[in-house]
Amino acid sequence: MSSKEQCVKLNDGHFIPALGFGTYKPNEDSHQHLIVNVYPELSEVSHLQLSTVGNLLEFYNASLWCTCFRPELVKPALEKSLKNLQLDYIDLYIMHYPVPMKPGDDDFPVNEQGKSLLDTVDFRDTWEMLEKCKDAGLVKSIGVSNFNHRQLERLLNKPGLKYKPVCNQVECHLYMNQNKLLDYCKSKDIVLVAYGALGTQRYKEWVDQNSPVLLNDPVLCDVAKKNKRSPALIALRYLVQRGVVPLAQSFKENEMRENLQVFGFQLSPEDMKILDDLNKNFRYLPAEFFVDHPEYPFSEEY
């Protein structure tokens, strides 16, 4: 399979790998590993990399954190990421949420009562600065994350919009298949990128430990057994086959190699229907620290 067959074309003409792997922070061997941050801090950068025949295709993805949404803070945040990676440009730069937080040294600022300190920046003003970063050659593509369809619509209808977001990175997996949001994004030529594709890594800081373990689902395990594949590979193939770009967090080389087999088979329409029916609209990562903000994205159905 050629590298182009393992990539997805973006609406600005660039390509994104059709599968990403993730760990929290780049290590010294970042040229040999695929690094994607689900909840990156301001200085952390995602690094997508796709193994191809005889070489590696590298794709760097940085995330603008919510404390840097004020227009004057956008470019300095990007420049900090570029400096950390020792790069002249980044392939993809995304707004991590549509919700702004008070700027400062703390990525999750709170008051004395422990309540999140939120800001009032219009994300469309932040987007305008991302457009300027693209024009300056600091990034190739720009996108968003955790936007619902109404927020995407407002951005797309922004007067003077120069560039559409190339992607919307959201929680997406068998228990939260995002069918309606996926259809909307496809209608606008926006790629849906899935974090938590395997049900998240279930970190105690973010995920209710009583939540269901996706890869232990008996229906998924039955489909995996039928296809002689692992549950993880079936869960990833389900997303890829629907046109979603999954990010599969992994720390082990053997898991990464196995996950790349996602391009080597297809699921039958019957199996896809069975997996569709697993949807519960269940969110592992509800981002409740944003719930009091009017731009909290998860109050909408999609």
Cα-based torsion angle of the residue sequence 194, 257, 24, 9 in order, rounded to the nearest 10 degrees: -40
pLDDT at position 5 is 59
Q: What is the mean pLDDT of each run of 10 residues along the chain (302 residues)?
A: 70 91 42 31 42 53 92 95 88 94 91 91 98 97 97 97 97 96 98 90 66 91 97 96 87 73 94 97 88 93 93
Q: Taking the model in full, what pTM does it have?
A: 0.88
Q: At what angle do helices 231-241 and 269-276 cross, to 10 degrees?
A: 100
pLDDT at position 76 is 96
SS (H, E, C) 191-206: EEEEECCCCCCCCCCC
pLDDT at position 260 is 82
